[in-house]
Amino acid sequence: MSRRTTAIDTEHMPPGIPWIIGNEAAERFSFYGMRTILVVFMAKYLYLMDGPGGTPMAEAEAVEHFHAFAAWVYFTPLIGALLSDIFLGKYRTILLLSLVYCGGHAALALMGTRGHSPYWLFAGLLLICIGSGGIKPCVSSNVGDQFGPANRHLLTRVYNWFYFSINLGSFFSTLLTPWLLDWYGPHWAFGVPGVLMGLATLLFWMGRHKFAHIPPGGSKFFRELGSREGLVALAKLIPLFLFFAVFWSLYDQTGSSWVFQAGQMNCKFLGITWLESQIQAINPILILVFIPLFTLFVYPCINRFFPLTPLRKIGTGMFLVTLSYALTALVQSWIDAGHCPSIGWQLLAFVIITAAEIMVSIVGLEFAYTQAPRNMKSMIMSIFLLSTFIGNMFTSTTNRLIQIPSASAKQAAAAMAALPAVSRQTPHTLTLAGYDGSPGTADDFILTHKADASPDLTIPGQPAFAAAAARLEAKILELDGKLPPGDGPSDAFGTDLWGNPIRYEILNADRFRLISDGPDKTPNTQWDLGLIVDLKRPPAAPETSWLDRFHPAATWLERRSNALGVTLAAEAPAAGLTFTRRAFCGGQTRLHGAAYFRFFMWLMLATAIIFVPFAMLYRPKAYLQ
């Protein structure tokens, strides 16, 4: 059966749009369902997948890997665009890469069944990068290809519905997959999104006779790319896309650093106790409300006073992102002071950043399509998505650079590699040379591997830190579980072996650390020494709800840790307030707490200010099929 190669000449909605919208809703359910739980899975679940002996991934490292994945998802659109525009066309490219996409979800669902789970994780994320990223520019430009001159007035409405479908799928998956992960574990939490990706592929195939199949440009692509028209379009759009990169650097942290911030807040709101990953569900539901609100009321009202061009919308959205990060920095400063603010504050930040998303992302998607020459639509869309790659790589690199290595961890890895395989699986103790490089001296580290194969580090001069911790723990008990302020004299908690003052720093309402500059007497290095102390509070009376009938009596983490004989750091005592201490050497971050969020706030403010004169000088030119 022959397929149309041009858009239908009609003033009405093209017949292929419902199939594209349905495909997009299912595909976005699969992607955001997996993405929503990814950072929490890496930090709290991955080390338990293959048995005892592992250690949880640090939050900064999990954020680094999350944004590296998010970045490469938005680099591979360049490959998909080249396949589509030059060789295969959009339909074949989407169908082929959707099958690769399904394979990635299958790999994630199979983690822990055999082999080394981090390898399965890497393989699954790699296939999803290729599949999801590869179809991105093709799907969004395939929407525009269905329209001709007679119905081009419907294009804005359809892109709004396109974005609506994205958020409809992501809303349900953002609520469901954290719940599945919490109660049923990674296999179900990653498997259900895989099933939805299979459904998305099926829907797209079923609508094949409804679409306008624009053929690949072949040599036309290269001629247009090298033409004056193509070069001018690229020269105008690439600087614009760099501004989008900064936006995505901040926006995509709603799935990483904002999740960890939510874990330090009081997550009971409107009578519901939310999982830390579920807070992201407010974004898609706000999108569903804001799209018609902005389209029907906000934009028309503003247009009565001055023309609200696409670039003006984008600039306004950038200032709103700055405001949202100012609020998260304020909230984090409360957490850094030992308070436990309501999650409602982060929900307010989501309201602000979602309004920004409406004005930056949706408008930018349509604007990029209209500014692209006819045979370069997918290419320009991929370059637009490449801005997300740049933004997430910046965030990933920032989180890699702020991580401080651990001197003891480096030596422990070398010592463990030298041990026979049998010895690694049994309780044993390692003595690691300290700063002077000579074993048997006062600055040695002692690393004890317990019966469950978990490591326990003893740092040089640990009794001084333990004495300071004991004083603080006694004070906290006097204050009924409240941490004392962290603004006392620098030497109030004694000194380490080298005469450095031991500093008391609040990390959140249930955690503090005692830290010194260590033997090199320099802060923020691999030789920083200290203790991290966690407060374990008695569990509150369990709340019953209708959902209780749908899940087991214990969470997956509790069942897994019991099966492995591993004690979870988050396990609460049956009664009374208790404390757990963990020694460290290095392994912290140079930029943490409110300072982290303020860094990105100032970055966004500077970008928004620079964008204003750029937008005033930009001269748009629209192209349609």
Sign of the torsion angle spanned by Cα atoms 216, 222, 223, 224: positive
Residues 241 and 285 in one domain: yes
Q: How far is CA 453 from CA 410, 533, 559, 581, in A?
A: 18, 21, 18, 18
How many CA atoms are closer than 13 Å to the CA of 196, on its beta-carbon side? Answer: 25
Residue 3 included in any domain: no
Taking only the tens place, the pLDDT of each residue in 520-534 is 999 999 999 999 999
Residue 540 burial (CB count, 10 A): 9
Q: How far is CA 266 from CA 40, 346, 394, 404, 509, in A?
A: 17, 11, 30, 29, 10
Residue 302 sits in a domain of what CATH number? 1.20.1250.20
Residue 9 included in any domain: no
pLDDT average, residue stretch 127-155: 76
Residue 2 included in any domain: no
Residue 288: phi and psi, rounded to 5, are -60, -30
Residues 140 and 187 in one domain: yes
Residues 472 and 612 in one domain: no
Alpha-carbon distance 297 to 310, whole Å? 16
Residues 165 and 206 in one domain: yes
Q: What angle do CA 28, 252, 17 make, to 5 degrees?
A: 30
pLDDT average, residue stretch 118-130: 94
How many CA atoms are closer than 13 Å to the CA of 217, on its beta-carbon side? Answer: 20
Residue 327 included in any domain: yes
Residues 197 and 279 in one domain: yes
Give me the domain span that covers residue 56. Answer: 17-403+594-617
Residues 456 and 602 in one domain: no
Pairing of β 445-449 and β 455-458:
antiparallel
CB neighbour burial string for 170-191, b if at least 16 within 10 angstroms, e if fewer: bbbbbbbbbbbbbbbbbbbbbb
Average pLDDT over the chain reads 85
Residues 455 and 380 in one domain: no
| 535, β-bridge pairs | 579
Selection from 550, 505, 510, 557 nearest residue 528 by Cα: 505
Alpha-carbon distance 450 to 461, whole Å? 22
Rounded-to-10 torsion of CA 121, 123, 128, 130: 150
DSSP per residue, 267-292: -EETTEE--TTGGGGHHHHHHHHHHH
Residues 390 and 418 in one domain: no
Taking only the tens place, the pLDDT of each residue in 272-287 is 888 898 999 998 889 8
Residues 147 and 284 in one domain: yes
Residues 389 and 490 in one domain: no
What pLDDT is stored for residue 451 in this prediction? 62
Taking only the tens place, the pLDDT of each residue in 59-101 is 999 999 999 999 999 888 888 877 877 788 888 888 899 999 9
The helix/strand/coil state of 403 is strand
Residues 376 and 494 in one domain: no
Split into its structural domains, the chain has a count of 2
Residue 548 included in any domain: no
